Chain A
Amino acid sequence: MKKEGKIQVWQDYQKEIADDHYFYVRSCIRQNFFPGSEQTFLKILRKELNKDIYENPHHTSCSGIGYHSDIVPFDTIQTIIARQFALMTEAGYKNLAVSCITSFGIYNEIIETWREFPSELEKVRNYLKKATGREFDIPQNVSHASDIVYKFREDIADRKKFSLVNHCTGMPLKIVEHIGCHYSKMFPCKGVGGAEFPNVLAGMIESWGGEVIDYPERRHCCGFGFRQYLIMSNRGYSVSNSRKKFESMEPYQPDAIVSNCPGCPMFLDRWQYVIQEMENKTYGQNGQGIPVLTYEELAGLVLGYNPWDMGMQMHQTNLEPLLDKMGIQYDPDLKYTRKDGKMIGNPMMVGCGW
């Protein structure tokens, strides 16, 4: 593998990422799957980087999952997106920061549609005006939240409390990066590093001391794939996709997986537990699973945030092997306690790797 070849590709796919004053739109599912991630992102931007990021509680789901499941018509989703833009315009912002990969794809797809077919834009302006009385501007910059963390990865590195380095051996931790399909496969030019060798997560990993694992099934779907999971009878496809990835990455002995999508870390995390239950097979070292993190969680750990404050007890593949390698001190007894010290209750099903 030649790094210089990848660097050449990365140079071909550099995008403009706004450096301040963001209007933040949340994911509808990430808050359930990884509840502390978005809050960690806001904390990093506001407290660590002193950036202005605003969110309006009246913004809604982008309805992307419904759209990709053929439930939400295109006119409807265009109007929903127009309303999000109207909220941004009313708040005086021009830079959209998107939490979700599906939404990021939707925003880009609709903006490109309007660019190609101005009549669609006029139609949607009319729909929104009639329905809500609102008007909107198209954002000047659309960045995924991972783009923003990538942009400030060296600033985060400057403030780091822990590195992605095995504190016992001094060796870089080996990290698998997984990009959500709709981040750059739809529009390669809108992703940092393009679609085939994306650099958005790889750049963070390397800046924070880790080593990126490139394994044969790196580009393969995580197993979400909308219809693979949303239709219950297809869920066998979902787990078999994830399994294919685990089998492929296993020889590289990764210490963690990081992703920038709502669905990918969910499935790569939960299906490890399922595979252990089904086949008594784990993919990490010493019978453990491979911890799966969002990039905000990874940044939070690097900055020394308490993993339990970031909601990482919600992971079904236990995180502790990674914390141990990074040399992060934690109290196992506090894993399932609330801020006020009361227990939230131990999970009925024990996570992968215990």
Chain B
Amino acid sequence: MKHIVIIGSGIAGIETASALTDAGHWVTVIEKDVHVGGKLNNWTYLFPDFTPAEEITKPLFSKFQEKDFSFLPNTEIKTVIRNNKKFSIETSGNQQLEADAIVLATGYELFDARRKEEYGYKIYDHVITSFDLEQLFKPEGKLTVAFGKHPKRIAFVHCVGSRDEKSGNHYCSKVCCITGVKQAIELKKRLPEAEIFCFYIDLRMYDKHFEELYRQAQEKYDIQFIRGRLSEASENIDKSLLIKAEDTLSGRPLKMNVDMLVLLVGMEAGEGTTNAARTCGVSCEESGFLKTQDSFLKSNFSDQEGIFLAGSCSAPMSVHDTILHARSAAQEVNDWLRK
């Protein structure tokens, strides 16, 4: 029986582990946190059809409980040494593992919005991120601003930490546009009286049902989309926010007051992926995400033989794409081991 070590137990890690276990391999999943599920645990509803995130995480947890693979929580890899066709792995818990293949499924980190200082995240009271808003959608969340009132005017800023020279991220995070549309609709459902504005560079509705949701946002929910990037936000004396932008379609500067500002934060490779790359000797792209052998036929292969990639450690991905990428990673590992 071949032994495969998977680093990361988010949706990519668990999906890959599940498929490889089904294929008859012995799988060990290493996770730096306590729980499986990764970032998806923090999400409430998923685009494009408002599927509750639980409907994805529950089957994932079932697989985790039902399938016969080893799980090492609170563990990170310390060293990886290649011995002929095997890998010797030492963990932070000083366990020694022998593996025939490694799958990196270390996922992503959300962009730290504090780096866009001009928006005042963690300084102004009512500037939040898309992640924070998702927590407010949970049953215990409260959609209120100053004096416990519901926000009457809300603005979303797209591409925070993506496609942005200043933050050093030139790439598109792919999921933020549709996340913004989904969250704007969700807000409008809960606060029908609220005016909602989305400030965007351009809207990238690339996948199934995305464009339809964007159209629905405008036609059914009266959400206003303004083409222009926010230059800055400031706090008014009543804790509302003064925002400045340029409406690039009308070619005019724009200034408005809003009660809440939502920053649609992008994805970054994150420390876990960077550390895993260093430990395994795998190359990274300029973006920090892990380098694949090519973009078409070998998107699960790292540049180190026997080390495979699954999910958003290799590029920003939606939940849907991550699951597919994880399944294809399992297939590629299986084929490679049988050669």
**Which A residues lie at the B interface, using CB under 8 A?**
1-2, 4-6, 8-9, 194-197, 214-219, 251-252
Contact (Cβ within 8 A) B124 A194: no
Q: How far is the CA of A181 from the CA of B118 in the complex (A)?
A: 15
The one of A4, A6, A216 in contact with B234, judged by C-beta atoms closer than 8 angstroms, is A216
Contact (Cβ within 8 A) B242 A194: no
Contact (Cβ within 8 A) B242 A9: no
Which residue of B is nearest A218, CB measured?
B234
**Nearest 3 CB-CB pairings of A with B:** A5-B123, A196-B117, A5-B122
Q: A214-B235, A252-B237 are in contact. Are A2 and B125 (CB under 8 A)?
A: yes
User: Which residues in B have their C-beta under 8 angstroms from that of A218?
Assistant: 234
Contact (Cβ within 8 A) A219 B123: no
Which residue of A is nearest B232, CB measured?
A219
Q: How many A-B residue pairs have CB under 8 A?
A: 43
Q: How far is the CA of A196 from the CA of B125 in the complex (A)?
A: 17
B2 at the interface (CB under 8 A from A): no
The one of B122, B123, B125, B242 in contact with A216, judged by C-beta atoms closer than 8 angstroms, is B242
Min CB gap B116→A, angstroms: 9
Residue from A2, A4, A251 having most chain B Cβ neighbours under 10 A: A2
* Chain B 112-133 interface mask (CB, 8 Å, partner A; 1/0): 0010011011111100000000
Contact (Cβ within 8 A) B117 A194: yes
User: Which residues in B have their C-beta under 8 angstroms from that of A219?
Assistant: 232, 234
Total interface residues on B, using CB and 8 Å? 15
B236 at the interface (CB under 8 A from A): yes
Contact (Cβ within 8 A) A1 B117: no
Query: Secondary structure at chain A's binding surface: helix, strand, loop or mixed?
Result: loop
**Which B residues lie at the A interface, using CB under 8 A?**
114, 117-118, 120-125, 232, 234-237, 242
User: Which residues in B have their C-beta under 8 angstroms from that of A2?
Assistant: 122-125
Which residue of B is nearest A252, CB measured?
B237
Q: How far is the CA of A6 from the CA of B234 in the complex (A)?
A: 13
User: Which residues in B have their C-beta under 8 angstroms from that of A251?
Assistant: 237
User: Which residues in B have their C-beta under 8 angstroms from that of A252?
Assistant: 237
Min CB gap B237→A, angstroms: 5
Contact (Cβ within 8 A) B118 A196: yes
User: Which residues in B have their C-beta under 8 angstroms from that of A194?
Assistant: 117
Q: A2-B123, A5-B122 are in contact. Are A216 and B236 (CB under 8 A)?
A: yes
Contact (Cβ within 8 A) B235 A5: no
Contact (Cβ within 8 A) B234 A197: no
Which residue of A is nearest B115, CB measured?
A12
Contact (Cβ within 8 A) B242 A1: no
The one of B114, B235, B236 in contact with A8, judged by C-beta atoms closer than 8 angstroms, is B114
Q: How far is the CA of A194 from the CA of B117 in the complex (A)?
A: 9
User: Which residues in B have their C-beta under 8 angstroms from that of A4?
Assistant: 122
Q: How far is the CA of A252 from the CA of B236 in the complex (A)?
A: 10
Q: How far is the CA of A62 from the CA of B114 in the complex (A)?
A: 36
Min CB gap B314→A, angstroms: 30
In the complex, besides A5-B122, A214-B234, 7 extra interface pairs with C-beta distance below 8 angstroms are A2-B123, A8-B122, A196-B117, A196-B118, A197-B117, A215-B237, A217-B234
Contact (Cβ within 8 A) B236 A197: no
Q: How far is the CA of A195 from the CA of B166 in the complex (A)?
A: 13
Contact (Cβ within 8 A) A1 B125: yes
Q: List 13 A-B contacts (CB under 8 A).
A: A1-B123, A1-B124, A1-B235, A2-B123, A4-B122, A9-B114, A196-B117, A197-B117, A197-B123, A214-B234, A215-B237, A218-B234, A252-B237
